[in-house]
């Protein structure tokens, strides 16, 4: 546990149990140790087709814990409730979940259900997101907010106005100045009085990667001059009383409470100015940005950690709003936040299998064979032996590297054969090992697509805690990087927590070696693509059930099949199958063609990822005739 700093980034949900496996405390309480669930047991149940109750799902696998999600929501709400109470703040906190962080139906439905007692709402940034938020909120608390962000056209605005008509507590937030004209026109046409918010472009700038769009030159929101023009337009239209919410977002992963308080304080001044200008202000929406400590370092100097707790975050927000509003004698507004990352990151674990390893130099030592170092190379071999026997290890290393370079040149000219080149590679590797340079970092092949399942590792080099989910009581003997299934050299993970460029790992044995990517419940599923036509993972939902350490799988869904991913690119799997079947009847016997067709059908129906040899049915592909 210490090697991978599980307690640092995993608490209070993940720890290591006595069996050396990752254990999940889905209620987030360390005192309920009898309720801990062994992640490996879940994985075995989900994947094993042979065990009793085994579900036979293919890897990669997302394991979702709705209880973790419930706990995250409750912790966020109670952090604000506590700060509001202890500071004597004059209003309440009412959060929304930005669905773009993970639009999975069950995640969103759970949030609406779990958040209903405290009026937790949703935020949408596009038309389909708005449609899903509207339908989910029909089953939620009627006071829950529906915040409509993002760039809008007449259709988006009409939809938001309809949401209002359907008694959903909807706020249309102006992202661009022109949207105000459409809102005025359409609301008059549809005879609906909207609630309007506006997104301000703050001067406060967040300097990390996630703050790239903050500050005066940021992509989103209205400048001071634009805000003044919008107020004027609404006043002229007799709709200034509709302007009730001020929104801003200074970026994800806000590193410190000092920066947070600075931004919130600036926004609170704008809020008070809008009150002064006659708007009917009620809510300050501080956007997202509540950070996650991906490496457990509690540092505010990196993009993957934050230097505050949930309680400290809430206290900083409440104090900053209160300080400005009280000074200006403005009634304390409702505080809304749009935390996404902090709500959904912990609720799922991506589990994938390492299927084999190779040394980064291609397993050369096994090819070392001194007979191939005869002829021209025997002189070199003699010099090297002398240096080794003389204990001059530095010279040994320099010498072997020079020898290798020379041999590669000779190979290109055709004067050294492949066996000789392999023997020289093997010799170099042996020398490196013998002089204690250590085993080179190995490449672990994983049954996964980085582009589909951990796209931020590729796109923005984000680092997630990735560790084996078992054998954690066994000292890892190897260091490795992870290499995925795609035919793309970017499909790798070679950046890990603590600034490491390789991960301590165990030898892959026959029993399966499972790794978990933790804290990836936000953004990764929503951003993933179909590179090489690898689709999303299988998913299971797991809840605590009665009895010590017991759990129930409440939902199990295989990932998209080969047919499904082909359909995404406009292919027609049914027609493709018919074409291939027809061809089979032309080229092989009737009996074999029928078997072959069912084998093909099976491949169309299965996920694109590797299947273990034990579940591959060779008989489905008869090619003997
Ligand atoms: N709200 C808005 C407008 C955003 O752009 C984002 C993310 O970029 C969020 C909320 C969610 O931010 P986070 O996941 O950091 O909480």
Dump pLDDT digits (tens) for 246-270: 999 999 999 999 999 999 999 999 9
Mean pLDDT in residue range 164-183: 97
Tell me the chain's radius of gyration from C-alpha atoms: 30
Mean pLDDT in residue range 178-198: 97
pLDDT at residue number 361: 43
Q: Does 562 participate in catalysis according to the annotation? A: no
Which tens digit of pLDDT belongs to each residue from 23-50? 999 998 877 777 899 999 999 999 987 7
Q: For 252-298, what is the HEC assignment?
A: CCCCCHHHHHHHHHHHHHHHHHHHHCCCCCCEEECCCCCCCCCCCCC
Which tens digit of pLDDT belongs to each residue from 396-419? 878 888 888 888 888 888 888 888
Which tens digit of pLDDT belongs to each residue from 419-459? 888 888 877 777 777 776 667 789 999 999 999 999 999 99
What are the φ and ψ backbone dihedral angles of 124, each rounded to 5 degrees?
-125, 150
Mean pLDDT in residue range 548-567: 95
CB atoms within 10 A of CB 412: 9
Which tens digit of pLDDT belongs to each residue from 189-205? 999 999 999 999 999 88
Q: Which residues contact 623 (CB under 8 A, 6 or more apart)?
A: 588, 592, 596
Does the C-beta of 287 come closer than 6 Å to ligand 1? yes
Instruction: Examine the pLDDT at 54 and tell me if it is beyond 90.
Output: no
Instruction: Examine the pLDDT at 619 and tell me if it is beyond 70.
Output: no
- CATH code at 66-344: 3.20.20.10
CB atoms within 10 A of CB 37: 23
Mean pLDDT in residue range 512-519: 97
Say how many Å lie between the CA of residue 491 and the centre of ligand 1.
27
pLDDT at residue number 213: 64
Closest to 25 in 3D by CA, of 8, 13, 17: 13
Mean pLDDT in residue range 531-557: 93
CA–CA separation, 267 and 269 (whole Å): 5
pLDDT at residue number 163: 98
pLDDT at residue number 362: 45
| Candidate from 72, 98, 129, 520 with most ligand 1 atoms within 8 A of CB, to mutate | 98
More reliable by pLDDT, 518 or 439: 518
Mean pLDDT in residue range 531-558: 93
pLDDT at residue number 458: 94
Does the C-beta of 288 come closer than 6 Å to ligand 1? yes
Half-sphere exposure (CA, 13 Å, Cβ side) for 308? 22
CB atoms within 10 A of CB 441: 18
Q: Considering 325, 396, 428, 487, which one is annotated as catalytic? A: 487
Closest ligand 1 atom, CA of 199?
3
pLDDT at residue number 411: 84
Classify domain 1-64+347-351+441-558 by CATH architecture.
Beta Barrel (2.40)
Does the C-beta of 148 come closer than 6 Å to ligand 1? no
pLDDT at residue number 8: 94
Does the C-beta of 608 come closer than 6 Å to ligand 1? no
Does the C-beta of 199 come closer than 6 Å to ligand 1? no
- Whether the Cβ atoms of residue 94 and residue 339 lie closer than 8 Å to each other: no
Confidence at 210, pLDDT banded by 50, 70, 90: confident
More reliable by pLDDT, 3 or 319: 319
pLDDT at residue number 301: 82
Which tens digit of pLDDT belongs to each residue from 586-601? 999 999 999 999 999 9
Q: What is the pTM of this model?
A: 0.91
Which protein residue has the closest C-alpha to ligand 1 atom 6?
Answer: 288
The three-state secondary structure class of 89 is coil
pLDDT at residue number 413: 86
Both tokens assigned to 284? 């300050």
């Amino acid at each position: 546990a210490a090697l991978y700093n599980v307690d640092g980034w995993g608490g209070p949900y993940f720890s290591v149990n006595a069996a050396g496996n990752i254990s999940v405390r889905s209620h987030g309480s360390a005192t309920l140790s009898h309720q801990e669930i062994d992640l490996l047991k879940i994985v075995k149940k989900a994947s094993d087709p042979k065990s009793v109750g085994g579900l036979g799902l293919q890897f990669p696998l997302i394991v979702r814990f709705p209880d973790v999600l419930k706990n995250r929501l409750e912790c966020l709400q109670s952090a604000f409730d506590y700060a509001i109470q202890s500071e004597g703040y004059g209003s309440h906190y009412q959060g929304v979940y930005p669905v773009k962080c993970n639009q999975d139906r069950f995640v969103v439905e759970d949030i609406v259900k779990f958040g209903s007692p405290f009026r937790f709402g949703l935020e949408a940034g596009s038309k389909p997101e708005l449609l899903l938020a509207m339908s989910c909120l029909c089953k939620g608390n009627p006071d829950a907010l529906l915040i409509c962000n993002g760039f809008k056209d007449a259709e988006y605005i009409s939809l938001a106005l309809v949401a209002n008509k359907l008694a959903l507590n909807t706020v249309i937030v102006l992202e661009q100045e022109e949207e105000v004209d459409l809102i005025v026109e359409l609301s008059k046409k549809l005879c609906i009085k909207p609630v309007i918010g506006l997104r301000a472009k703050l001067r406060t700038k967040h300097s990390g990667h996630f703050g790239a769009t903050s500050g005066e030159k940021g992509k989103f929101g209205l400048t001071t001059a634009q805000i003044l023009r919008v107020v004027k337009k609404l006043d002229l239209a007799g709709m200034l009383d509709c302007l009730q919410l001020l929104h801003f977002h200074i970026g994800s992963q806000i590193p410190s409470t000092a920066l947070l308080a600075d931004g919130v304080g600036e926004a609170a001044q704008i809020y008070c100015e809008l009150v002064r200008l006659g708007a009917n202000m009620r809510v300050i929406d501080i956007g997202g940005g509540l950070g996650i400590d991906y490496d457990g370092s509690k540092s505010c100097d990196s993009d993957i950690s934050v230097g505050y707790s949930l309680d400290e975050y809430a206290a900083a927000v409440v104090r900053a709003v209160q300080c400005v509003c009280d000074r200006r004698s403005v009634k304390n507004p409702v505080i809304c936040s749009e935390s996404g990352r902090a709500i959904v990151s912990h609720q799922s674990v991506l589990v994938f299998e390492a299927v084999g390893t190779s040394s980064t130099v291609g397993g050369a030592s096994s090819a070392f064979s001194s007979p191939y170092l005869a002829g021209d190379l025997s002189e070199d071999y003699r010099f090297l032996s002398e240096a080794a026997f003389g204990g001059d290890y530095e010279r040994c290393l320099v010498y072997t590297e020079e020898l290798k370079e020379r041999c590669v040149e000779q190979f290109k000219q055709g004067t050294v054969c492949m066996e000789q080149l392999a023997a020289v590679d093997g010799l170099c590797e042996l020398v490196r090992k013998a002089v204690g340079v250590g085993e080179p970092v190995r490449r672990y092949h994983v049954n996964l697509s980085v582009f589909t399942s951990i796209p931020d590792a590729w796109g923005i080099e984000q680092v997630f805690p990735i560790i084996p989910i078992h054998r954690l009581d066994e000292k890892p003997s190897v260091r490795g990087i992870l290499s995925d299934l795609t035919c793309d050299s970017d499909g790798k993970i070679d950046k890990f927590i603590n600034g490491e460029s390789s991960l301590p790992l165990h030898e892959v044995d026959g029993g399966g070696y499972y790794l978990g990517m933790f804290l990836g419940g936000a953004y990764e599923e929503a951003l993933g693509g179909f590179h090489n036509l690898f689709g999303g993972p299988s998913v299971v939902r797991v809840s605590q059930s009665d009895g010590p350490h017991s759990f129930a799988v409440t939902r199990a869904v295989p990932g998209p099949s080969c047919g499904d991913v082909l359909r995404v690119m406009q292919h027609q799997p049914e027609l493709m199958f018919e074409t291939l079947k027809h061809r089979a009847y032309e080229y092989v016997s009737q009996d074999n063609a029928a078997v072959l067709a069912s084998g093909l059908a099976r491949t169309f129906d299965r996920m694109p990822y590797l299947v273990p040899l034990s579940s591959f049915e060779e008989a489905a592909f008869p090619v003997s005739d």
